[in-house]
Amino acid sequence: MSSEQDPQTLQGFLAQKGPAMDAWFKRALEDESIAVKKPKALTTVEGRSGVRRISIRNHQILADSPPEWAGFNLGPSAPEILLGALGACLTHMYLVVAGIKNLPISKLEIETSGEVDLRKGAKDHEDEIPGIDNIHYVVYIDSELTDEQLEQLRTDVEKVCPLYNLVKNPATITSSYVRTK
């Protein structure tokens, strides 16, 4: 069995992913209820520990701080989760684009990084806006594609990656309060 047909390989997965996503996109073009997703997450704070429990569908992620910030290091920090989510979204879109275009990829990893200046917004730095700066990602890929084809793949991925575009072109955020007691 060739690696393209073996479902245990990444290329075998791409052989299934491409047609599945292509069919989904065709249905989504005809039905807005399929096309428009409304993801949501609920984050709660655990009593004495201050650990943040993020609930998404049937999944849970713990967010915590390192001990030097009075945390227990029980999970990644929020900026680390954001960078991880960006990497997950980018890798997913690489798989979607490669699957639809039938591009060969046998291994894919994306490492994301950034800088958080914790002085921003603090005393004597109130006018500086805190955030994650200098976000960078590195794609580690095993593929027979040429450098030109890899550049085109990256361009195509960046055009359609929701989190890449959210970070690059921030969305409007609204908020409200609900008193619970």
137-172 pLDDT per residue, tens: 999 999 999 999 999 999 999 999 999 999 999 899
CA 51/CA 62 separation, integer angstroms: 7
Q: What is the pTM of this model?
A: 0.89
Q: How far apart are CA 72 and CA 67, in angstroms?
A: 5
Q: How far, in Å, CA of 63 to CA of 78, rounded? A: 6
- Residue 122 counted as domain residue: yes
Report how far residue 112's alpha carbon sits from residue 132's, in angstroms, rounded to the nearest whole number: 12
Total of domains in the chain:
1
Over range 32-50, report the average pLDDT.
91
- Range(s) of the domain holding residue 86: 77-181
Domain assignment present for residue 20? The answer is no
The yes-or-no verdict on residue 37 having pLDDT over 50 is: yes
CATH number at residue 141: 3.30.300.20
Mean of pLDDT values over 91-105: 96
pLDDT band at 32 (very low <50, low <70, confident <90, very high): confident
Rounded average pLDDT over 100-105: 96
Selected residue with higher pLDDT from 1 and 18: 18
98 occurs within a structural domain:
yes
Task: Please check whether residue 158 is in contact with residue 137, taking contact to mean a CB–CB distance below 8 angstroms.
Answer: no
Residue 118 placed within a domain: yes
Residues 20-39: what's their mean pLDDT? 90
Instruction: Mean pLDDT check: name the lowest of 33-37, 85-89, 136-140.
Output: 33-37
Q: What is the mean pLDDT of the segment spanning 42-51?
A: 92
Tell whether 124 is covered by a domain: yes
Mean pLDDT of the chain: 92
* Residue 60 located in a structural domain: no
Q: Which two tokens stand for residue 147?
A: 């450098």
Tell me how far apart the alpha carbons of residues 24 and 122 are, in angstroms, rounded to a whole number.
Answer: 47
Residue 129 identity (one-letter amino acid): I
Average pLDDT of span 33-48:
92
Higher pLDDT, 3 or 106: 106
In a domain, 148, yes or no: yes
Q: What angle do CA 26, 31, 33 make, to 5 degrees?
A: 125
